[in-house]
Chain A
Amino acid sequence: MYRRLVGANMRGQMQYRVAFLLDLVGTGIGTAAAFGTLALILQRFENIAGWTLAEIALLYGLVETAFGLMDMIFSGFDPGTFGQQVRRGTFDQMLLRPLGLTLQVFGSDFALRRLARIFQGAAVLGYALIAAGIRWTLLKVLFIPVVLASLVCFFGALFIVGATITFWTVESIEVVNIFTYGGVEMMSYPMEVYHPWLRRFFTFIIPGIFVNYYPALYLLDRPDPLHMPAFAPLLAPVVGGGMLLAALAFWNFGIRYYQSTGT
């Protein structure tokens, strides 16, 4: 059923071929420019907090690829567009269909235009994996898809929480966007460059540190400057999966609230 819904959505998107291509090219240029800036700065300073360009490219590539994938798969939950669905009453139409709501929201949008970001992120990631001097083991090879999946779950959870909040208010969407889009920016840099309270925020409140920074330390065999337990890198799937489950629980709670108040 999910395939049918997504298929329908894609056929709809293909109705706007020019807009789609422009969007694809535009996003491609935008994200490439972002990494280009980073590369230029690093050429000047050689490294940031002891991280070389290739090493930072690992952080950046993981986050960008995963965020692009998430943005494509979870685009039905994008708080901005989902908030509009709630206000325009299209969410009510989903309540009128004999299908699960989570499935329907997933199936309501599958943003193919994110492909540009995914390709760009994957290219940077590919460069990092070759140039960062990783000493490869089988475990590390297997770990990379796990990290990507954890990151997708992590960002997806933020999207779902943001979408759920729109049942109460659409005024606070910007706050949620700070965490998602801001999180992407911040997680592209090594955590030791940040002020301790910001690090604590990313450890205990929105634990992004476990899905990107620690896995990168493990892949690069870098010592942990923050002195976390040695198993910290392996927490990535636990944190990603846990956050997604918690977000879905909040989502279901939000639906019950919505059904008791309407719009």
Chain B
Amino acid sequence: MQPAIISVNHLHKHFKIYKHHRGALGALCNLFTREATTVRAVDGVSFTIQPGELVGYIGPNGAGKSTTLKMLTGLLTPTGGEIEVNGRVPWKQRRAHVAHIGAVFGQRTTLWWDLPVIESLDLLQYIYKIPPAQFQHNLDEFRTMLELDPFLNTPVRSLSLGQRMRADLCAALLHDPPLLFLDEPTIGLDVVAKERIRQFILHINRARGVTVILTTHDLADVEKLCERVMIIDYGRVLFDGRLESLRDRFGGQRELVVDMAEEYATVDVDGATVAAREATRVTYQFERNALSASDLIGRVSARYRIRDLMVREPNIEDTVRRIYEERLLDEE
């Protein structure tokens, strides 16, 4: 096994929130009183990530996702625990560390606001000391893939959100970092733009072997991109594993949608319940652990004539929602 590209051990980050007094007198009070409550934003997180992985780091608002990401990128110093990224401690060797990672924080841009995109990219060539040949090669590839050409000479402030995200992705990868951090890369984008970003992320992971860690609220991102998912809440890792095993354990019921050749009076089958019925279309629900899809199809086709059918997996969104809401992982 290769050495891990990221290893995180018992990571803690506690914030002190000071009580805030309002008004002019209050501002004076703020200077002298220090009534604080401690918030455990990250509370004992451990994991390792191997080179080449594409990991989704998900959780509700305030779960500790961004705080973890900020510590991994060296923006924040942890209260306790260890992090090693590319063999370096991010907050101790900030400059060496950030030279070997790429990071895109969806809400903010790395680019110079008033300059044309291409000038920002040129500046990054000097900042990261990228050899001209490598710079040109990468720029050519990303330009085509991300379709940057129509707005390369437009100032960043005039770009649409989707264009800006594409430019930022290009900017984050010009120096060939082995590791890419993405915080909400598809936030606020339309369906087409989201899909384009996802295709690009997949490409750089598969073709270039870049390890990618992304946080997202859009579970479609996770479903389409990530083989491994980490769910975090209350500063702890609730689940860390493959997407399928998340489905297997918490996925609940699968659905079989059947178009019958004719309308039958009853459509009951053992081991499945009829969830919906609409003319000749019948939707069965069944437990994945109790019955396989092929067995159910066999049972249905033994009794009725089938014209068409489809197995529907419970979507990840529902699965994760169930985990959040029902605290399915609490007792573990």
Whether chain B is bound by chain A comes out as yes
A12-B114, A99-B127 known; A259 and B105 CB under 8 Å?
A: no
Instruction: Report B-chain residues with C-beta under 8 Å of the C-beta of A1.
Output: 126-127
Nearest CB of chain B from residue A263's CB, rounded to whole Å: 10
A97-B98, A99-B127 known; A259 and B76 CB under 8 Å?
A: yes
Taken residue by residue from 244 to 263, chain A's Cβ proximity to chain B (1 for < 8 Å, 0 otherwise) reads as 00000000000010011110
Nearest CB of chain A from residue B25's CB, rounded to whole Å: 13
A98-B128, A99-B127, A259-B77 known; A89 and B112 CB under 8 Å?
A: no
A12-B114, A89-B108 known; A262 and B75 CB under 8 Å?
A: yes
A93–B172 Cα gap in the complex (Å)?
12
A90-B108, A97-B127 known; A11 and B119 CB under 8 Å?
A: yes
A186–B112 Cα gap in the complex (Å)?
38
Instruction: Report A-chain residues with C-beta under 8 Å of the C-beta of B239.
Output: none
Instruction: Report B-chain residues with C-beta under 8 Å of the C-beta of A5.
Output: 123
Nearest CB of chain B from residue A102's CB, rounded to whole Å: 12
Instruction: Report B-chain residues with C-beta under 8 Å of the C-beta of A16.
Output: 114
- A96 in contact with B98 (CB, 8 Å): yes
Residue of A whose beta carbon sits closest to that of B110: A93
Nearest CB of chain A from residue B162's CB, rounded to whole Å: 20
- B127 in contact with A12 (CB, 8 Å): no
Q: Which of A216-263 contact B (CB under 8 A)?
A: 256, 259-262
A4-B123, A11-B119 known; A95 and B75 CB under 8 Å?
A: yes
A8 at the interface (CB under 8 A from B): yes
A12-B113, A96-B103 known; A262 and B76 CB under 8 Å?
A: yes
- B112 in contact with A95 (CB, 8 Å): no
Spot the interface stretch: B3-11, B89-97, B187-195, B215-223. Answer: B89-97
Instruction: Report B-chain residues with C-beta under 8 Å of the C-beta of A9.
Output: 112
- A8 in contact with B112 (CB, 8 Å): yes
Which listed residue, A8, A13, A96, touches B119 by the CB 8 Å rule? A8
- B115 in contact with A11 (CB, 8 Å): yes
Instruction: Report B-chain residues with C-beta under 8 Å of the C-beta of A262.
Output: 15, 67, 70, 75-76
Instruction: Report A-chain residues with C-beta under 8 Å of the C-beta of B98.
Output: 95-98
A11-B115, A99-B95 known; A261 and B15 CB under 8 Å?
A: yes
- B115 in contact with A259 (CB, 8 Å): no
Taken residue by residue from 72 to 101, chain A's Cβ proximity to chain B (1 for < 8 Å, 0 otherwise) reads as 000000000000000011101101111110
- A259 in contact with B91 (CB, 8 Å): yes
Residue of B whose beta carbon sits closest to that of A171: B27
Taken residue by residue from 1 to 34, chain A's Cβ proximity to chain B (1 for < 8 Å, 0 otherwise) reads as 1001100110111011000000000000000000
- A12 in contact with B115 (CB, 8 Å): yes
A8-B123, A96-B98 known; A260 and B77 CB under 8 Å?
A: yes
A138–B163 Cα gap in the complex (Å)?
61
- A8 in contact with B115 (CB, 8 Å): yes
A13–B120 Cα gap in the complex (Å)?
15
Residue of A whose beta carbon sits closest to that of B67: A262
A1-B126, A12-B113 known; A95 and B94 CB under 8 Å?
A: yes
Instruction: Report A-chain residues with C-beta under 8 Å of the C-beta of B76.
Output: 259-260, 262
Instruction: Report B-chain residues with C-beta under 8 Å of the C-beta of A261.
Output: 15
Nearest CB of chain A from residue B172's CB, rounded to whole Å: 9
B59 at the interface (CB under 8 A from A): no
A261–B77 Cα gap in the complex (Å)?
8
Taken residue by residue from 113 to 124, chain A's Cβ proximity to chain B (1 for < 8 Å, 0 otherwise) reads as 000000000000
Residue of B whose beta carbon sits closest to that of A4: B126
B99 at the interface (CB under 8 A from A): yes
Instruction: Report B-chain residues with C-beta under 8 Å of the C-beta of A169.
Output: 30
B209 at the interface (CB under 8 A from A): no
Residue of B whose beta carbon sits closest to that of A99: B127
Q: Which of B109-158 contact A (CB under 8 A)?
A: 109-110, 112-115, 119-120, 123, 126-128, 155
B251 at the interface (CB under 8 A from A): no
Instruction: Report A-chain residues with C-beta under 8 Å of the C-beta of B105.
Output: 89, 92-93
Instruction: Report B-chain residues with C-beta under 8 Å of the C-beta of A12.
Output: 112-115
Taken residue by residue from 141 to 178, chain A's Cβ proximity to chain B (1 for < 8 Å, 0 otherwise) reads as 00000000000000000000000000001010000000
A90-B108, A92-B105, A261-B15 known; A13 and B114 CB under 8 Å?
A: yes
A92-B75, A262-B75 known; A98 and B112 CB under 8 Å?
A: no
Residue of B whose beta carbon sits closest to that of A104: B127
Residue of A whose beta carbon sits closest to that of B28: A171
Nearest CB of chain B from residue A173's CB, rounded to whole Å: 12
Nearest CB of chain A from residue B305's CB, rounded to whole Å: 62
B235 at the interface (CB under 8 A from A): no
- 13 of the cross-chain contacts (CB-CB < 8 Å) are A4-B123, A8-B112, A8-B119, A9-B112, A12-B114, A15-B155, A16-B114, A89-B107, A93-B105, A93-B108, A93-B109, A98-B96, A259-B76
